[in-house]
Structure 1
């Protein structure tokens, strides 16, 4: 399991439930319980003060229930992920709009908790990658240009200007932002290695696209919609590459 430290707060009106969850969490050395509270409002104050990574939140509590607490956490744009702990699975439907990380239905075991923590770590990694790509794309305006050999001479361009790269025999066609197509006298994989950019994503054996220009993905028909200027391109994406893209969780997809 990832060794990155994860802070957590437990809010539950039953002290025994808090104690049991805290005992389970001790099996995960990277989880640090930074607060625990039996009253919903005081628990909400703890979240505001500590800004934890995870909030284990009971739903059925007096005065203010867990759904109301979660709604306030989200309304103030805290980045804490919420895990509802409840003995009543019926509440799951009411919590759909809140989009919690997960539910733990009491009584739960340590294996259930391990699944939740693994899910949190996966989601965190996706966010990190998404931010990495976002920062890279933003930085492209200042990125140095590169000289590439063409059939007619050389092309001086930057990754930000490349919309798509497609294999063509031993060469490669570059589809550029200005609508032109240049043939580079290098094969696709060598060119991709030379450019070495996380913004260039492989959608099939013969094609890379620039994520900056990806508008939409149609999962049913395995198509990518690429938009630049007044131009729109539709490109195939294989199932395996679609799965990879979905795991990155960067863009909206059609069912």
Structure 2
């Protein structure tokens, strides 16, 4: 299990890290001492579990958790705090566990056992991410895994999937925030499903485009997003 530790107190981070050392199945990917750094670190490392201090300046742990829960596949969260009165708020944010400082080996082990029990059900739930849309007055949905790309169309977003396409009222920016691990921006007007990326083409005219699995049309890649596309394909 890959974890990150977020706490504005270095001693508290160090204590959790030492207690985790006895578990060979756990790897600490990194640490951060504030909410802003936490979001960047989590986005970069994609951990399975986050140890998250509640009381931090500027952006506290509860606010960080609220943002993480908007992700398509959020990490499990164990809150850590010296103030047990925050427990109810933590539970409302679907926390996997809650530790009161100073953290003991016993309380940490119990929290990790709880995460292990939740993990299978959590992953099964997340494996089926669906996006809803209206068609002829009927509410339908499509699995995100079946979506090829999203294209901005004035006030709406056109969603193109394996069996057709539909207009939805969710902006590209909102889709990026909701599904950062699945979607990639290739142009200011276009997001593609990373899993569908097949090849990058550069004709003699110098206009870059991508080929997607199951999509007959090649999609234009802007110069600004070219590096990100190459990183994914490499």
**Under a length normalisation based on structure 1, what TM-score does the superposition of the two structures give?**
0.47
Q: CA deviation at 1:51?
A: 1.1
Structure 2 residue matching 1:83: 3-state secondary structure: strand
The CA distance in 2 between the partners of 1:127 and 1:63, in whole Å, is 30
| Higher alpha-carbon Rg | 1
Give the Cα separation in 1 of the matches to 2:16 and 2:41: 18
CA distance in 2 between counterparts of 1:128 and 1:87 reads 30
Judge which range, 121-130 or 97-106, deviates more.
121-130
Aligned with 1:71: secondary structure? helix
1:119-130 alignment runs, 5 A limit: 119-127=114-122
Counterparts of 1:193-204 in structure 2, within 5 Å, are none
- Which 5+ residue runs of structure 1 have no aligned equivalent? 1-5, 133-255
Structure 1 residue 76 corresponds to structure 2 residue 71: yes
Report the Cα offset of residue 60 of structure 1.
0.5
CA distance 1:130–1:11, change in 2 (3 Å):
closer
State TM-score, norm by structure 2: 0.51
Paired position in structure 1 for 2:39:
44
Instruction: Please state how far the C-alpha of 1:91 moved relative to its aligned partner.
Output: 1.0
Show the counterpart of 1:112.
107
* Superposition deviation, residue 79 in structure 1: 2.5
Correspondence list, 1:172-191, <5 A: none
Q: Distance in 1 between matches of 2:126 and 2:13?
A: 34
Matched, 1:19 2:30: no
Q: Is the 8 A contact 1:9 1:34 kept in 2?
A: yes
1:58 maps to 2:53: yes
Instruction: Tell me what 2:4 maps to.
Output: 9
Distance of 1:108 and 1:54 partners within structure 2: 17
Distance in 2 of aligned mates of 1:26 and 1:95: 26
Following TM superposition, by how much is the alpha carbon of 1:130 offset from its aligned partner in structure 2, in angstroms? Answer: 7.1
